[in-house]
Amino acid sequence: MADHPEPAQAGKTSAQPPRRLRADAQRNVESLLEAAKAVFDTSGVDAPAKEIADLAGVGVGTLYRHFPQRSDLVAAVVQSGIDACAEAGPTLSAKHEPRAALAKWIHRYTELLGTKRGLAAAMHSGNPAFDALPGYFMQRLEPTLGALLAAAAETGEIRADASAKDLLNAIALLCQPIRGEEFTYNQRMVTLLVDGLRRPS
């Protein structure tokens, strides 16, 4: 999928709320995002547009109508992943004890950082389509992690001096690709970091 000259439509992402779509158009966008996530996982962010459109069950024209440029689709996939990760926080808190909820959310966040082939390189390409994403990332995830940390610290299970911002950044650094290592290595490093959150006896 190369850059396309059509004007931006619903797929254009930013920190601003998107324009409301018709129900069928919204379903198409959701199908395209799910398909793009799956294709990016297996084929990388440069996968053919037709592969994404076919998996979504729509035409290539529909893909370009909602996401005129490749960067629009990449940014939308990233934003969708951020939203899902943020929304998982309250759900996990309702189902698990505070420290378990924190650990499960950090595992989810780690997967968000590490499972999309080529997304990191695309995000650091200097493309202005991605300019709003770092701010959106912190706006959505810092309060979520902050609430999980506060709940776990209140039980006395973890130290109280770890900030959400520091932890988000530390995990992001630990998830950077390491030559000769699979992502499971990064996950082990994150586990060591999380173990270090335990309150000293």
**7-56, pLDDT tens digit by residue?**
344 444 444 555 556 778 889 999 999 999 999 888 888 899 999 999 99
Measured between alpha carbons, how far is residue 113 from residues 2, 37, 164, 191 in Å?
A: 25, 13, 16, 14
Could you confirm whether domain 71-195 is CATH 3.90.79.10?
no
Q: Are 120 and 175 in contact (CB under 8 A)?
A: no
Q: What's the pLDDT score for residue 66?
A: 94
Q: What's the pLDDT score for residue 107?
A: 92
Measured between alpha carbons, how far is residue 75 from residues 68, 105, 137, 151 in Å?
A: 12, 22, 11, 32
Tokens of 15: 């920190």
Q: What is the pLDDT of residues 94-119, one digit of tens each?
A: 999 999 999 999 999 998 887 655 66
Highest mean pLDDT among 64-73, 123-132, 179-188: 64-73
> How far apart are alpha carbons 81 and 33 in whole angstroms?
10
Amino acid at 48: P
CA dihedral (71, 123, 31, 140) positive or negative: negative
Q: How confident is the model at residue 4 (pLDDT cuts 50, 70, 90)?
A: very low
Answering whether pTM is above 0.85, one says: no
Q: Which CATH architecture has domain 23-70?
A: Orthogonal Bundle (1.10)
Q: What's the pLDDT score for residue 119?
A: 62
Q: What's the pLDDT score for residue 112?
A: 87
Measured between alpha carbons, how far is residue 99 from residues 153, 172, 193, 199 in Å?
A: 8, 20, 14, 11
> How far apart are alpha carbons 14 and 75 in whole angstroms?
8
Q: What's the pLDDT score for residue 41?
A: 83
Q: CATH 1.10.357.10 occupies which residues in the chain?
A: 71-195
Q: Are 171 and 190 in contact (CB under 8 A)?
A: yes
Q: CATH 1.10.10.60 occupies which residues in the chain?
A: 23-70
Segment 123-145 shows an average pLDDT of 87
> How far apart are alpha carbons 88 and 40 in whole angstroms?
22
Q: What is the pLDDT of residues 146-195, one digit of tens each?
A: 999 999 999 998 988 989 999 999 998 888 888 898 888 989 999 999 88
Q: Are 105 and 148 in contact (CB under 8 A)?
A: yes
